[in-house]
Amino acid sequence: MISNGHNFIRTTGRAALVAIFCMLSVAVFFRYQIANGFTTLFSDRFDGMIVIAILEHWYNVFRDLSNWSQTNFFYPIANTLGYQDGYFANGVFYSVFRALGVDPFLASELVNATMRAIGFLSAYLACRRLFGLGLPWALLASIVFTLSSSSFIHAGHVQLLSISFAPLMAVLLHSTFTALFSGRRRALLAWGGAASLMYAVWLMTGYYMAWYFLYFSAATLAILVSLSPRDEKRVLLATLRRQALPVLALVAFAVLVNLPFLNVYLPKAAESGQESYQLGLSMTPSLLDIPNVGGGNLLYGRLVTSVHDMIAPALPLFSERTTGVSVILLFLFGCALAWLWRQREQTGAPLLTMAMAAAVVLTWATVVHVGNFSLWYVIYHLVPGAKGMRATGRYQIFLAAPVIVLAVQYLSWNARRIVAPVLFLMCALLVIEQLDEGSPLRLDRPHELARLRSVPPPPSVCRVFFASAARPERVNRPIEDGVYSHNVDAMLIAEYWDLPTINGLGAVLPPGWGLFNPERPSYLPAVAAFVRAHRLTGVCGLDLRTMRWDTSPRFAPAHSG
């Protein structure tokens, strides 16, 4: 009884400690929002509004107001969810917050905080179960992962926060393989089914990080098998033969749960032709981008700015290639590689860690460029799904996860060899170097919420609407003012009021759709042509300057020829 009591106290204390560090880490990641009372949020009124519109779509789905694959924008084109990331997991959490009465903008930011909390907890679980790290080291790795510099500075693209699912998927896959080799069929089916379902959710949430996980995991598995002794390879083949039926069942289940994603996104990929190789190549990081953590980094920002001004002052200081790994983290990763190389011939060397380290190096090499040369050419043309990648530099955001694990593992292996003050300093620097003095917060919540609430209820005769004029606020950039502004405003209003709009915006656009720049003479004829082509009735206009509905809009004649 006393022993059980001690175990309960120890377990409860450990859980409380993990929860405290989780809350602190998430609070640091969202420190600017907390400081401003959540008045200014991640992203902006362009990409950020698209995300919130999709989240509002899921809220409508869960209230049985919309079909899951059919958004209220780009009406009446089918399966319009496929024109951008699906944000499904975000939409589940968002719908809970909205049901509790939280406004759309705050709800979207609370979802982001939830995602980071999931990342912390699953990283801790992965460090303990997969890599055998002790409590302090697992907490350190989880803190660094949650605060990761590349994730923070790109938090304006909130779909990238789905990197939080990577350690959770690793735990599920590890449990699946453990059940496979131990011959526990029910456990195999349970863990394998959970992994398949989780990956389907991830794909429907954010394509980039889900694809990167599969790419990295496949490389790790291939290397792990190649490093395994012959006897273990024979055991693997024998195990697969014995467990052929449940393995085939899991494969069938994985295909089944991913059918919704494939049915929506494959036709859109074929329709758009996907991303060009040249565009992806232009966003592959150079060797200098490997440690490029951006000009706002607390420790290295000034150095990064100075190097940028000396080498490439004409290029933007911040871009999709600003996804680098911080210096101390990169140094410790290098130390881990050297340590593993020395240990490679020793019995009991951690094969999983060695395979993961090799996969980091090899796959990292495929997404960098030297001059005009990049191995991404091979990946782009041979690996399924790679043609959907545009911002290839984002792979470094994903790689932060295994790099952090390897760096912290190295410290844990060699803790006794490092004098305490140096060890403490390195651990502290690992955390501090993730912090950034800038903030990707450009979404004014009070202003946007007031605008959204100022839209009067649509007249009953309106069955579909278009934006007849854009809001007067301008940023004096043609794409944002002429393409984004009126379209993304219409998207959010359409979902908020559950009234379809022919406007919209996504990573790709429907064929023949061209509702750009309401200030140009060609805009109303394009609207008229679209309305006639789809035989729409009950079409109303919404002036985004005055927030007034027009139930009898006058369309200019469509251009002929």
- The length of the chain, given as a count of residues: 561
Task: Give the pLDDT mean for 368-377.
Answer: 95
Return mean pLDDT, the chain: 94
Whole-number pLDDT of residue 508:
86
Task: Give the pLDDT mean for 530-545.
Answer: 96
Q: What percent of the chain has pLDDT over 70?
A: 97
How many Å apart are CA 494 and CA 551, to the nearest integer? 16
Task: Give the pLDDT mean for 514-518.
Answer: 94
Which H helix or E strand runs over 542? strand 539-543
CA distances for 214 relative to 157, 218, 476, angstroms: 20, 6, 40
Given a contact cutoff of 8 angstroms between Cβ atoms, the answer to whether 432 and 298 are in contact is: yes
Is the Cα torsion angle 343, 346, 352, 355 positive or negative in sign?
positive
Structure tokens at 196: 């398949």
Whole-number pLDDT of residue 425:
96
Whole-number pLDDT of residue 3:
63
Is the pLDDT at 210 greater than 80? The verdict is: yes
49: pLDDT confidence band, cut at 50, 70 and 90?
A: very high
1: pLDDT confidence band, cut at 50, 70 and 90?
A: low
> 500-537: b or e for each residue (b if 16 or more CB lie within 10 Å)?
bbbbbbbeebbeebebbbbeeeebbbbbbbbbeeeebe
Could you report the per-residue pLDDT of 485-500, keeping only the tens digit for each? Answer: 999 999 999 999 999 9
Given a contact cutoff of 8 angstroms between Cβ atoms, the answer to whether 104 and 492 are in contact is: yes
460: pLDDT confidence band, cut at 50, 70 and 90?
A: very high
Whole-number pLDDT of residue 344:
76
Whole-number pLDDT of residue 298:
96
Angle ∠(76,78,82) on CA atoms, nearest 5: 125
Q: What is the dihedral of CA 39, 42, 44, 49, to 10 degrees?
A: -90
271: pLDDT confidence band, cut at 50, 70 and 90?
A: confident
Given a contact cutoff of 8 angstroms between Cβ atoms, the answer to whether 469 and 486 are in contact is: yes
Task: Give the pLDDT mean for 363-372.
Answer: 96
Task: Give the pLDDT mean for 409-423.
Answer: 94
152: pLDDT confidence band, cut at 50, 70 and 90?
A: very high
Task: Give the pLDDT mean for 154-176.
Answer: 97
Which H helix or E strand runs over 468? strand 464-469
How many C-beta atoms surround the C-beta of residue 20 within 10 A? 11
- Among residues 140, 134, 132, 126, the alpha carbon closest in space to that of 168 is found at 126
Is the pLDDT at 346 greater than 80? The verdict is: no
- Residue 385, sorted as left (phi over 0), alpha (psi -120 to 50) or beta, turns out to be left
Could you report the per-residue pLDDT of 6-24, keeping only the tens digit for each? Answer: 787 888 999 999 999 999 9
Is the pLDDT at 537 greater than 60? The verdict is: yes
- Among residues 299, 295, 332, 333, the alpha carbon closest in space to that of 432 is found at 299
Could you report the per-residue pLDDT of 385-412, keeping only the tens digit for each? Answer: 999 999 999 999 999 999 999 999 999 9
- Residue 161, sorted as left (phi over 0), alpha (psi -120 to 50) or beta, turns out to be alpha
Specify the residue for token string 């801790």. Answer: 124
> 181-207: b or e for each residue (b if 16 or more CB lie within 10 Å)?
eeeebebbbebbbbbbbbbbbbbbbbb
Specify the residue for token string 């009234």. Answer: 499
Is the pLDDT at 349 greater than 70? The verdict is: no
473: pLDDT confidence band, cut at 50, 70 and 90?
A: very high
How many Å apart are CA 287 and CA 330, to the nearest integer? 13
Whole-number pLDDT of residue 558:
43
- Among residues 431, 406, 515, 489, the alpha carbon closest in space to that of 77 is found at 515
How many Å apart are CA 460 and CA 551, to the nearest integer? 9
CB proximity list for 312: less than 8 A, separation 6 or greater? none
Given a contact cutoff of 8 angstroms between Cβ atoms, the answer to whether 411 and 137 are in contact is: yes
Whole-number pLDDT of residue 560:
39
CB proximity list for 347: less than 8 A, separation 6 or greater? none
Whole-number pLDDT of residue 325:
97
How many Å apart are CA 355 and CA 359, to the nearest integer? 6
Angle ∠(175,256,217) on CA atoms, nearest 5: 40
Could you report the per-residue pLDDT of 212-257, keeping only the tens digit for each? Answer: 999 999 999 999 999 888 998 999 999 999 999 999 999 999 999 9
How many Å apart are CA 68 and CA 511, to the nearest integer? 22
Whole-number pLDDT of residue 11:
86
- The distance between the two most distant Cα atoms of the chain, rounded to a whole number of Å, is 88
Could you report the per-residue pLDDT of 288-343, keeping only the tens digit for each? Answer: 999 999 999 999 999 999 999 999 888 899 999 999 999 999 999 999 999 999 88
Task: Give the pLDDT mean for 531-536.
Answer: 95
Distance of CA 210 to the CA centre of its chain: 8
